[in-house]
Amino acid sequence: MSEVKIAIYPGTFDPLTSGHLDILEEACALFDRVVAAVGINPSKTPLFSARERLEMLRESVQWRGLSNIETVAFEGLTVDCASRHQAGFIVRGLRAVTDFEHEFGLLLANEQLDASIKTVFVMPSHKYLYLSSSVVRQAASLGGRIISGSVPPPVEARLREKFNF
Ligand code: ADP
């Protein structure tokens, strides 16, 4: 019998974008189970609290109809969160080449921390290649509008609430 393949998809998700959701959907097709994990980094001050980020993630996963996903929040090392959830793989999204150096550094660090956990890169649809949470935050804060289709509806609702538009 083949072993169940579990992957973790960690991120700040401040907020979750359609690009993140695209990667999650792909991960769901590739793995038996996916753990989408909101990172809590005490040295960062995100726009949305960890609780809000987790709620947006849960609502968006439900909106998209993805069923083999568990949503969690975690503090500390990604490899430790992966081990707690029996995940043998870390999924990361790769957009343009600009992501590569940063992501490659993370891959090497994670491999040194736990060689049994492999990093897998997934590229989003071309529509999302230049989309980032920071672009969404900026657009929402400057004039209270967001780029159409850049976030799932549950995230758009939170942005409207936060920026009063
Ligand atoms: P982190 O702080 O861990 O980089 P992010 O929420 O910014 O958290 O991103 C989480 C992961 O999703 C990263 O691997 C990032 O490269 C990827 N990602 C972010 N935006 C997109 C996008 N538009 N398309 C594909 N992957 C993306």
pLDDT tens track for 93-139: 999 888 999 999 999 999 999 999 999 999 999 999 999 999 999 99
Which ligand 1 atom sits nearest the alpha carbon of residue 132?
20
Residue type, 19: G
Give nearest CA residue, ligand 1 atom 9. 11
Helical packing angle, 18-30 and 50-64, nearest 10°: 60
pLDDT exceeds cutoff 60 at 67: yes
Q: Tens of pLDDT along 21-59?
A: 999 999 999 999 999 999 999 999 999 999 999 999 999
The contacts of residue 105 (CB under 8 Å, 6+ apart) are none
Among 130, 131, 136, 132, which Cα is nearest to 155's?
A: 136
Distance CA 51, CA 13 (A): 11
pTM of the shown model: 0.96
> Which of 44, 95, 100, 146 maximizes ligand 1 atoms within 8 Å of its Cβ, making it the mutation to test the pocket?
95
User: What is the pLDDT confidence band of residue 1, given thresholds at 50, 70 and 90?
Assistant: low
Which ligand 1 atom sits nearest the alpha carbon of residue 13?
6
| Inter-residue contact 64 to 23 (CB < 8 Å) | no
Distance CA 31, CA 8 (A): 10
- Whole-number Å distance, alpha carbon 135 to ligand 1 midpoint, is 12
Distance CA 86, CA 142 (A): 42
Half-sphere exposure of 23 toward its Cβ, with a 13 Å CA cutoff? 28
Q: Average of pLDDT values for 66-76?
A: 97
Radius of gyration of the chain (CA): 16
> Which of 92, 110, 134 maximizes ligand 1 atoms within 8 Å of its Cβ, making it the mutation to test the pocket?
92
How far, rounded to the nearest angstrom, does the alpha carbon of residue 105 sit from its chain's CA centroid?
18
User: Which residues line the pocket of ligand 1, CB cutoff 6 A?
Assistant: 10-13, 17, 19-20, 23, 39, 92-93, 95, 99, 124, 128, 131-133
Query: Which amino acids are annotated catalytic?
Result: 20, 44, 95, 133
Q: In what order do the strands lie in the sheet with 89-93?
A: 69-75, 33-40, 6-11, 89-93, 118-122
